[in-house]
Amino acid sequence: MRKVYLIDDSIISPLGFSTQENFQNLQENNIGIKEVDNNDIWSAPFYGSVVDNTKLNEAWNSISNDKNGDYSKLEKMMILSVSKLLSNNPSLDISRCGIVISTTKGNIGEIRKEQNDKAYLGSIAKTIQGYFDLEQTPKVLSNACISGGLALAIGKRMIQAQLFDDVIVIGGDLLSEFTLSGFFSFQAVSAAPCKPFCKNRTGISLGEAAASAWLSADKNKINGEVISISGDASANDANHISGPSRTGEGLYISITKALKEANLRSEQIDYITAHGTATPFNDEMEAIAFNRAGLQEVPLNSLKGYYGHTLGASALIESIIARHCLLNNELIASVGFEELGVSQPVNVITKNESKKLTRVLKTASGFGGCNVALIIEKLA
């Protein structure tokens, strides 16, 4: 079966409007989570990671070929990330690419309006199709918090099945009153920037972001070291629709199957970029699954302390950052972490470190009992 390579990527987030800017901020341990005082989202100040509207509109006006069109904030962020990917890669012909869009709630704020066609997730695919003048409508995946990682897996599978030679995965979600109110009703929102895997954690922080990644069967398109997605798997816990499995079952199965596909053993993994939402049940479940898979000593971080939980974008962004950690041979500190707060040992990265890295495990888990694992590998 043919290999699938990660060629290039682009992130639009509060930590910058390019992957480079984002990665630099992570290297400096700068966080996107701030106190947000925005009555449209919440009646009281809260901690979250939001994209500045003024900055976004400036960037939009400088690249957009349709300045008078009706684009939502999320659509602008997604289109901006794709546009940057295209302008950085003149050889990338979007009209020949399969496109997978990953989002959980899309333009959900629109349901408050009487005319609310944009609240339908498919409308985002239509908007992107129209903007880039594409023949085919992009596919939309909405699979809770694993969407961004699962979309990469699906892109990889589409290439392996020779449905396409190139796929662009686009992920994005907004920080909305809709989702924030729901997580508040779950008593799951942290009163301070979130602290994944830490004893002093008090829940999640939400964030917003968009990102794009280019997957290809052709490694000659790579300028530099070759990074491949060499294994992927997804499995349901079959346990509970909102509570993570107590045994980490689905995540454990996902990791085991992804390792098997990549023909690797757990001790060959150099780094884990975990889901790490900073809710007690999630972090505990992950620690159990990593221990079952023999990965307890592998350096691990969660990027939720930087970005907050960006839902449909999160696992995509975390995979993109994993690629850049491999390219830079650098581990990024799991910001917010002080003292281990899970019952099983995990090796949380407490400060940035230069280290030769070859293989990364990316995992994500979400409502509905879904889990995904990806192996991202630097090939010699």
Provide the binding-site residues for other proteins, judged by CB under 8 A.
1, 43, 104-106, 108, 111-112, 119-122, 125-126, 137, 139-144, 150, 154, 157-158, 160-161, 163, 177-178, 181-182, 184-187, 233-243, 249-250, 253, 257, 366-370
In the complex with other proteins, which residue's Cβ is closer, 241 or 380? 241
Q: Read out DSSP for 245-311?
A: PTT-HHHHHHHHHHHHHTT--GGG--EEE------HHHHHHHHHHHHHTT-TTSEEE-THHHH-B-G
Min separation Cβ 241 and other proteins, Å: 4
In the complex with other proteins, which residue's Cβ is closer, 296 or 367? 367
- Rounded CA separation 44/28 (Å): 30
In the complex with other proteins, which residue's Cβ is closer, 154 or 320? 154
Min separation Cβ 244 and other proteins, Å: 10
Q: Is 97 helix (H, G, I), strand (E, B) or coil?
A: coil
In the complex with other proteins, which residue's Cβ is closer, 233 or 349? 233
Nearest to 18 by CA among 66, 74, 88: 88
Q: Are 300 and 348 in contact (CB under 8 A)?
A: yes
Min separation Cβ 347 and other proteins, Å: 27
In the complex with other proteins, which residue's Cβ is closer, 245 or 334? 245
Q: Are 8 and 214 in contact (CB under 8 A)?
A: yes
In the complex with other proteins, which residue's Cβ is closer, 231 or 299? 231
In the complex with other proteins, which residue's Cβ is closer, 65 or 181? 181
CA distances from 37 to 30, 42, 46, 50, 109 (A): 20, 8, 7, 11, 18
Min separation Cβ 265 and other proteins, Å: 20
Min separation Cβ 13 and other proteins, Å: 22
Angle between helices 53-63 and 73-88 (to 10 degrees): 50
Question: Which amino acid is residue 69, in one-letter code?
Answer: G
Min separation Cβ 22 and other proteins, Å: 27
**Rounded (5°) CA angle 217-220-223:** 115
In the complex with other proteins, which residue's Cβ is closer, 159 or 298? 159
In the complex with other proteins, which residue's Cβ is closer, 143 or 314? 143
Min separation Cβ 144 and other proteins, Å: 5
Angle between helices 314-328 and 19-27 (to 10 degrees): 70
Q: Cβ contacts of residue 182 below 8 Å, gap of 6+?
A: none
Q: Which helix (H) or strand (E) holds 98?
A: strand 98-102
Nearest to 272 by CA among 293, 246, 247: 293
- Rounded CA separation 285/15 (Å): 29
Min separation Cβ 188 and other proteins, Å: 9
Min separation Cβ 186 and other proteins, Å: 5
